[in-house]
A = this chain, B = another copy of it.
Amino acid sequence: MRVGILGGGQLGWMTILEGRKLGFEFFVLNKDPKAPACKVADACFTPEQAETFLKSCDVITYEFEHIEQGLVEKVSHLLSPSAEVLKLKFSRIQEKSFYRKMGYPTAEFTFAKGEELYKKLVEFGLPAVVKAEKLGYDGKGQYLVESLFGMDEIFKNHSKSENFLVERRVNFLFEFSLIGVRSKRGDVRVYPMTINHHEKGVLLYNYTSSMHIKEAHNILTSLMEDLNIVGLLAVEFFFCQDGKVLINEMAPRPHNTGHYTLDGCYTSQFENLLRAIANLPLGSAKLKLPSGMVNLLGASIQDIDVEGLLSLEGIKLYWYGKEKRERRKMGHINIVANTQKEVEEKIKSVLYLTYQTQRV
């Protein structure tokens, strides 16, 4: 099986490392030929070489959503999950409107552009979360607006014609995510839920929980059906103070909160993505052991205590080999242990040894 991947980041890198074991070949389309996935692919193509890339592939998937629409159309006949799903992710307003239309629970929202944004915010009430319609990830283009004075910052970063999503800030008890995989033949597996801790919009760590929130499970499987997903769907949820579950957002690709599956589950999210799009039976999503993950944000390998980390039992280091940038995801640590409590303790140790304790 010759698999094409749009995007060359760590999600593609891990997909390839897992897919090599199945004997698959991998071709990456990415601007930067030094990206992590390019280092382990059979070949890496630039967007200008899209035609050659296309000819090399039996099936194409993606590892990020912000793909140029022209390219999506060019490869759509081989794309899994489908171009329709990607299009929905092209705009935060479209995504939210889809949830509303289909009756899925989300935070109350509206949208506006330019000067109209002031008026809408006054009507909607503050505080509110304002998010640029397009190209946002890891907290980028997101603003908590507590007073209209806060708008200056937004229009420093965005043009006056941009569209914005305006969301009610949710008082949640915790954030969690569920990742599901669905194959061509409609089989479905759902990974254990994980409890997620973000810092300034970026995931810092997460761990598996033995909780089973039926409503969230139903939402995930129902979304996979609605969107006719062939591949992965990750959904981030808020668990609210009133006991309700709200969708924060979804991602039709391998998800940062599923990195632990590489060491914690019978079958990783990456392998199950490949099984799904290759029309093979899905693997078990069961846990081997309670698991967790800590991102290594904005650090070079010299910035972390590698000796200390590798001395901890049950940890596994993943280093993506990317150029250091502030708050960039440079690598992660997977953790397994005998109990959830032990995992949480190991997370603390890892945060300490990676000098991220102040972030908790």
Contacts and interface: CB of A to CB of B under 8 A. Distances in A.
Interface stretch (A89-97, A155-163, A317-325): A317-325
Nearest to A322: B23
Interface string A243-269: 000000000000000000000001100
Given A17-B21, A20-B17, A316-B267, A310 B42 contact: no
Nearest to A42: B39
Nearest to A279: B307
Interface string A11-41: 0010001001111000000000000000110
A171 B314 CA distance: 40
A51 to B, nearest CB: 25
Interface residues of A, number: 35
Given A17-B17, A319-B21, A284 B306 contact: no
A175 to B, nearest CB: 27
Contacts of A271: 316
A240 interface: no
State the main secondary structure of chain A at its contact with B.
Answer: mixed
B267 A280 contact: no
B310 A280 contact: yes
A283 B310 contact: yes
A215 to B, nearest CB: 27
B313 A266 contact: yes
A213 to B, nearest CB: 24
Contacts of A283: 310, 313, 316
A310 B21 CA distance: 13
Interface in A48-89: none
A281 B288 CA distance: 24
Contacts of A319: 21-23
Nearest to A311: B281
A17 B307 CA distance: 21
Contacts of A17: 17, 20-21
A207 B317 CA distance: 27
A192 interface: no
Given A266-B313, A280-B310, 4 more contacts: A21-B318, A281-B311, A283-B310, A286-B313
16 contacts: A17-B21, A20-B39, A21-B317, A22-B317, A23-B317, A23-B319, A23-B320, A23-B321, A40-B40, A266-B336, A280-B306, A281-B310, A281-B311, A283-B316, A284-B314, A289-B289
Closest 8 CB pairs of A and B: A23-B319, A281-B311, A284-B313, A281-B310, A288-B288, A21-B318, A23-B321, A266-B314
